[in-house]
Amino acid sequence: MTRMTPLLERNEQFARTYTPVALGLPARQVIVVTCLDHRVDPAIFLGLQLGDAPVIRNAGGRVTQAVIDDLAYLAFLAEQLFGGQLQDDRLFEVAVIHHTQCGTGFLADPGFRRQAAQATGLSEATLEAETVADPHATVQADVERLLASPLLSPKVSVSGHVYDIATGRVTTAVAARSPRKEH
Ligand SMILES: [Zn+2]
């Protein structure tokens, strides 16, 4: 008996009525980037079903180089496998969702950040880059960072949203926009 035992029992229930989903474009043509917080599950608050949308999660839901790399590969894969099936030559919308009461918010305090750096071996700069103290500000910065990346497919749009832990409501902070085409 481990802590996984009851969860594996739940999986047994799940598998009994499970129907596999074939690999295809995500049904909603959305990719969600959000925080790993256990109170912030986009499958639940956005009502996602299997096959609807890939979800990338990390501390804060920040647009890191690793997130940009994953998005670049997903865009390439979708284009290779399903490029011919696109209605309007749009691959997907990347929805960056930050949230209130984020646990990374403590890192905004320099003393706490220094303590965290010493205890974990992570650099203070890395920890500062994870911080979401004002989700409206960070989601705006991360949408801009993603749109500015040369690795972002021009067939992708990016939007920014804030999930309120107190109300369960998602509000759009940055409307969907595509990267500027270079000439
Ligand atoms: Zn969080």
> pLDDT value at position 89?
79
Cα separation, 130 vs 128, in Å, equals 5
Span 49-69, average pLDDT? 97
Q: Which helix (H) or strand (E) holds 95?
A: strand 92-99
What's the pLDDT tens digit per position in 84-132? 777 777 899 999 999 999 999 999 999 999 999 999 999 999 999 999 9
Rounded to the nearest angstrom, the distance between the alpha carbon of 98 and the centre of ligand 1 is 7
- Edge-first strand order for the sheet with 92-99 is 55-58, 30-35, 92-99, 156-163, 170-177
What's the pLDDT tens digit per position in 17-31? 999 999 988 999 999
> pLDDT value at position 1?
85
Phi, psi of 177 (to 5 degrees): -145, 145
For 158, the token pair is 């990016």
Rounded to the nearest angstrom, the distance between the alpha carbon of 102 and the centre of ligand 1 is 4
Q: Among 151, 150, 159, which Cα is nearest to 177's?
A: 159
Q: Of all residues in the chain, what percent carry a pLDDT higher than 90?
A: 90
Rounded to the nearest angstrom, the distance between the alpha carbon of 57 and the centre of ligand 1 is 10
**pLDDT over 80 (residue 178):** yes
> pLDDT value at position 182?
56
Rounded to the nearest angstrom, the distance between the alpha carbon of 87 and the centre of ligand 1 is 35
Contacts of residue 160, Cβ cutoff 8 Å, sequence gap at least 6: 95, 96, 97, 98, 139, 140, 142, 143, 172, 173, 174
Rounded to the nearest angstrom, the distance between the alpha carbon of 65 and the centre of ligand 1 is 18
Span 67-90, average pLDDT? 89
Half-sphere exposure of 65 (CA within 13 A, CB side): 1
Q: To the nearest whole number, what is the mean pLDDT of the chain?
A: 95
Three-class HEC string of 163-176: ECCCCCCEEEEEEE
Confidence of residue 183 (pLDDT cuts 50, 70, 90): very low
Instruction: Let me know if 110 is exposed, middle or buried by CB neighbors in 10 A (0-12, 13-18, 19+).
Output: exposed
Cα separation, 28 vs 91, in Å, equals 10
Rounded to the nearest angstrom, the distance between the alpha carbon of 77 and the centre of ligand 1 is 29
Span 154-167, average pLDDT? 97
**pLDDT over 60 (residue 134):** yes
Rounded to the nearest angstrom, the distance between the alpha carbon of 135 and the centre of ligand 1 is 9
Rounded to the nearest angstrom, the distance between the alpha carbon of 101 and the centre of ligand 1 is 7
